[in-house]
Amino acid sequence: MNNILSELHVEILECDTTECRSWWNQRDLVNPFARIYHVLEGEGWICHHDCTFHLVPGRLFLIPSTAIATMSCPHRMLQQWLHFRAELADGLDVFQVIVPTYELAFADCPPWADPAIAHLWELLKGGNAFDLLEAESLLRSLIALFLRSGPGKNEDKISAVTRFKPAFELIERQLTAKLTLELLARTVSLHPVYFSNEFTRRMGVTPLEYVRARRIERAKRLLLDPNCKLDEIAAQTGFADAFHLSRTFKKLTGASPSVFRRNFNSLSAEVTPRWPREI
C-alpha cells in the first residue's frame, strides 16, 4: 500500500472563495476532477453516493471526480473551494482504489489540520512555483486524512492495482486501441478467464468495464474544451463514433456529453478562478 501511495500525483487545477446564493443549484453534476469545499459562513447542501451532506463551517467536504452530485444553497454560503486531481502512476484516480470518507470535522482531525487549511489558501493566493509546491504537499496530507478515515476494506483493490499494474499501464497508453481481455491478461501472464475473475472480484468491475470507464473519464476532460467536437473526442477515446460515445457517456454518467458540457460551463461562469484551468 505504501508503495502505491508513494506514486500519488496531485495536481491543483483552480481555487477560489465564492459567495454562493440561489444560483448555486445544480442537479446530477459530473466533473472530471475532485473537489474540496470549506464553508466559512452560511450553509448549503450536496448529495452524492446516496448520501446528503450539510455544508456548514467547521468541516471539510470531499467530492470525488466520479461522483454524480446535486448541490444547492437555500440562502447564502461563503465557501473556499479547490479543484484537483489525485492519480496513481497509471492514471487511476486514487478515490477509485481507496474509498475515502466524504466529510471531516476539524474536531476529529489532528491539531495541524485547521491551521493547515488556512495556510493552504494563503499559499494558493500567491500562486508562484514554490507556493504551489508547498500547497500540493499540504493537499496530499489532507487527502491522506480523507483516505485514512474511510470505511476500509480496500485491501483487495490495493492488491489488484499492484498485481495488475502492467494491465492498467497498457490501458492508459493505448486507450484508443482495441483492448481485448486476452491482451490485458497477457500483460500479467494470466489466463483470460482467471484474470477476468480476479480483476472483477478485486476491482468490482470487469476489465472491459474498467476500460470503458477510463475512456469516459478521458472524454470528460476533453469536453471541457468547447472547441473540441464530439467526433474528435470519440476518436481520441477509443469509441467508434460520436453516437457510440454519447450512448455510453449517458449510461455511465446519467447525462449526455452536451448536457455535461453545458452544466460545467454554466457553473464555471458563476465563479472567477484565481488560476486558469489546466486541461
Distance CA 2, CA 134 (A): 21
Fold designation for 164-264: Arc Repressor Mutant, subunit A (1.10.10)
Q: What mean pLDDT comes out for the span 223-248?
A: 91
What's the pLDDT score for residue 127?
A: 72
User: Residue type for 84, please?
Assistant: F
| Start and end residues for every CATH 2.60.120.280 domain found in the chain | 2-152
Q: What pLDDT does 153 receive?
A: 62
Amino acid at site 194: Y
Dump pLDDT digits (tens) for 134-192: 999 999 999 999 988 887 666 767 777 888 889 988 998 899 999 999 999 999 999 99
For the range 223-229, what are the long-range contacts, defined as Cβ-Cβ under 8 Å and sequence gap of 24 or more?
223/32, 223/257, 223/260, 223/261, 223/264, 224/32, 224/261, 224/264, 224/277, 224/279, 225/279, 226/261, 226/265
Beta bridge partners of 44: 55
pLDDT in tens, 73-91: 999 999 999 999 998 867 7
Distance CA 242, CA 231 (A): 5
Task: Report the distance separating Cα 15 and Cα 278, nearest Å.
Answer: 12
Which part of the chain is CATH 1.10.10.60? Answer: 164-264
Hey, what CATH topology would domain 2-152 get? Jelly Rolls (2.60.120)
Nearest 10 degrees: Cα torsion 180, 184, 190, 192: -20
Q: What does the block give as the cell for 62?
A: 470531499
- pLDDT greater than 50 at residue 273: no
Q: Give the up-direction half-sphere exposure of residue 73: CA atoms within 13 A in the CB hemisphere.
A: 18
